[in-house]
Amino acid sequence: MAMNDSVNILNSAYLAVEYIDSFLPDNPLQQPFKNAWNYMLDNYTKFQIATWGSLIVHEVSYFLLCVPGFVFQFIPYMQKYKIQQDKPETWEKQWKCFKTLLFNHFFIQLPLICGTYYFTEYFNIPYEWEEMPRWYVLVAQCFGCAVIEDAWHYFLHRLLHHKRIYKYIHKVHHEFVSPFGMQAEYAHPLETLILGTGFFIGIVVFCNHVVLLWAWVICRLMETIDVHSGYDVPLNPLHLVPFYAGARFHDFHHMNFIGNYASTFTWWDRIFGTDSQFIAYQEKEKKKQFITKK
């Protein structure tokens, strides 16, 4: 009975969104995107699209999303939004991070990406434009992927902080006490594999078109680069996502090496009480600000 009720609720929600979508104006970018997508299908093989296309989407998205945070360090006005103002970025750290990223991207992640084509073939995942899900379905699927990845990340990330194994794997990621956007995927190769597995679980569950692979890559990169940015910028649209953790939440984890283990949402830390030190810290900061204003 409960299952039927859940299905009915989801179907009703889907119909409601579909009804609202029918009143929205046509997306002016839809036709150019359709033309580009069909051009890609006509000129490249599925293997090239799944492999090299996925690599290009990942690399371009990653470094483009890192640009705002990188530029902020040169803008005095933005320094008031930097969370750890006493720990500025250095060229030495950023160069070291960049070199490690290139190694992880091309020697760890690329071999995994090469399996994308075989995944789509095994599960008969379509590439055709006509099979592409509507935007609101993609949004829902990406949210579902984020929920699954967040659960995986919380428990495995917490395990990597265990005193017996921390110094062998996860310590690499914590070399930077004050994180910056490009550092999001700076990690030991084993950590890239362990925590990266959570990214693929949602794909296995939800994927019904190759476009979800790319949409979820962009969403995940957008989130992880934001929480590692080191800046708590106002009017951040990601803060509209329910229970979104944000940069301050994760920055506290880098400052203290404990607590706030989840990647995207706050609920797992709230359930298990691993955000207690963060909450106490926030209360302390609020009292300081109140006294200062008085």
Q: Which residue ranges make up each domain of the chain?
A: 48-79+90-293
pLDDT at 6 over 70: no
- As to burial, measured by CB atoms within 10 angstroms (0-12 exposed, 13-18 middle, 19+ buried), residue 15 is exposed
Residue 119 parent element (H or E): helix 116-122
Which tens digits make up the pLDDT trace of 55-91? 999 999 999 999 999 999 999 999 999 999 989 888 9
The answer to whether the CB of 115 falls within 8 A of the CB of 199 is: no
From residue 112, alpha-carbon distances to 51, 52, 193, 205 in Å are 9, 12, 9, 18
Average pLDDT on 11-29 reads 63
Token pair for residue 187? Answer: 């990690």
User: Whole-prediction pTM value?
Assistant: 0.90
Residue 184 has pLDDT above 90, yes or no: yes
